[in-house]
Amino acid sequence: MKIVIISDLHANWDALSALPEKGDELWVLGDLVNYGPEPSEVVDYVLSNASVAVRGNHDHSVGYDTDPRCTPAYAKMAEATRRMSLRVLSPVQKRLLHDLPTSLTLEREGFHFYLCHARPTDPLYGYCPADSDEWRDELEEVKTDVLLVGHTHTPFIRNIGKQVVVNPGSLGQPKTGSPDACYAVWEDGRFELKSFPYPVEKTIVKIDQLDLHADLKEKLTKVVTTGSI
């Protein structure tokens, strides 16, 4: 069995539509919307193609019309694009975001998986970097073979005892210093982190066409190309 795992799509349809790998299932770890220029296309794709998906803080912010609680450096971009998402998404699409679960427990081929966007003890907002000792406590909380998370936009695989934490990184806004979209694959009981180039220049043109302040568009462009501002 082959599972393709993606996270933090952030309304980047150009990256999502270029995903080169197909599997038996597609798992999505949240943050379908905000920051990117095409939330509607991304939500529709996930609705039609994902086997399972969990809710991220940006999905929650649109589905529940609330603050996504971003850091100060990203807060204005997040709020501006959140308002855009609220304008362009249909009631059905907003309901999808509203109804996504914050976590899922799944079993495949004898392996038990726990899926959430951030971390089990704070599935929407909890930030935990790859090298944190706190992952031991998080794994103790879920008592599962595999913990799948996103949120940090940074891919990693970390083995702790007989358990493993995997973050596929961000498909739409990777924080790796490169615009290449990140994802993970689970096949025959093993994980592999992967990335691929996509026509990021098309995304930049679409960002420039958004009805946003020029300063925000400049920052969004820098984030999508470098992962930071």
How many domains would you assign to the chain? 1
Q: Encoding tokens for residue 17?
A: 């539509």
Residue 148 lies in a domain: no
Query: What CATH code is carried by the domain that includes residue 213?
Result: 3.60.21.10
Question: By 3-state DSSP, what share of the chain in percent is helix, strand and coil, each rounded to 5?
Answer: 35, 25, 40
Residue 153 lies in a domain: no
Q: What pLDDT score was predicted for residue 228?
A: 83
User: What residue numbers bound the domain in which 44 lies?
Assistant: 2-105+170-226
Q: What pLDDT score was predicted for residue 15?
A: 98
Q: What pLDDT score was predicted for residue 198?
A: 98
Q: What pLDDT score was predicted for residue 229?
A: 79
Residue 125 lies in a domain: no
For each of the chain's 229 residues, which pLDDT tens digit applies? 999 999 999 999 999 999 999 999 999 999 999 999 999 999 999 999 999 999 999 999 999 999 999 999 999 999 999 999 999 999 999 999 999 999 999 999 999 999 999 999 999 999 999 999 999 999 999 989 999 999 999 999 999 999 999 999 999 999 999 999 999 999 999 999 999 999 999 999 999 999 999 999 999 999 999 988 7
Taking the CA atoms of 24, 107, 60 and 217 in sequence, report the sign of the dihedral they define.
negative
- Please state the pTM of the whole predicted model: 0.97
Q: What pLDDT score was predicted for residue 6?
A: 98
Residue 97 lies in a domain: yes
